[in-house]
Chains A and B, each alone.
Chain A
């Protein structure tokens, strides 16, 4: 059975979020995982516009953020890996919540101007990928590439 990954998006105001989410989805898919993405309606619309044919994320696997949290709490969905995009204080709260309601391997993708300060506030058990990136996705991409050397072995 394929392992399942969830990418939980933050507010879409961060310019690199959509691109990085699609890149991460692509890497997870290539590693053999089934990928779902949860976010606000606008964050999901940006993803849909960027990936109109659902090549990276099947449209059936786009989840409303509140509904996704509810489904996780109620154990109606199970995931093996969850990557949470953290670029503001709310992101830290969502990350801590996912840690509490799911036993999935948890990755915090900490981005934006305040990435280092936000990373310092994260005290739940997770792997932190920290990149002070707002417009240029390269440093975030490099963190993801490094993660995949491990994840591809783990997913097999």
Chain B
């Protein structure tokens, strides 16, 4: 997972389709933002078939992460700075 591996992450969904990631984030997160492919989150650029949703829960960012050989994952990482940027740049799809 590149630099993500060095972070303190929790896997919420593993080896699923990107569509399943999208639906999981939409159905479980109360605060959701839509971002475009290539949006920078932490040190990575998000890969995905739009729409791409990023969820916020407290200080945690919940987002899809695609690996070429293992499908898509939903990860949760603490990111107050990321959340602040999302809130300042985007309008929540649901809050």
Contact = CB atoms under 8 A, between A and B. Distances in A.
Do A and B associate with each other? Answer: yes
Interface of A: 10-13, 39-40, 43, 65-66, 69-70, 72-73, 88-97, 99-101, 121, 123-124
Given A100-B50, A101-B38, 20 more contacts: A10-B68, A13-B69, A66-B44, A69-B45, A69-B47, A70-B45, A73-B38, A88-B71, A89-B17, A89-B71, A90-B47, A90-B67, A90-B68, A90-B71, A91-B68, A93-B18, A93-B48, A93-B72, A96-B37, A96-B50
Interface residues of B, number: 22
Interface string B38-55: 101000111111100000
Contacts of B37: 93, 96-97, 99-101
Contacts of B46: 97
Interface of A is mostly: helix
Contacts of B19: 89
A90 B72 contact: yes
Nearest to B49: A96
Interface of B is mostly: loop
A78 to B, nearest CB: 15
Given A66-B2, A100-B36, A90 B50 contact: no
B66 interface: yes
Given A66-B2, A100-B50, A90 B66 contact: yes
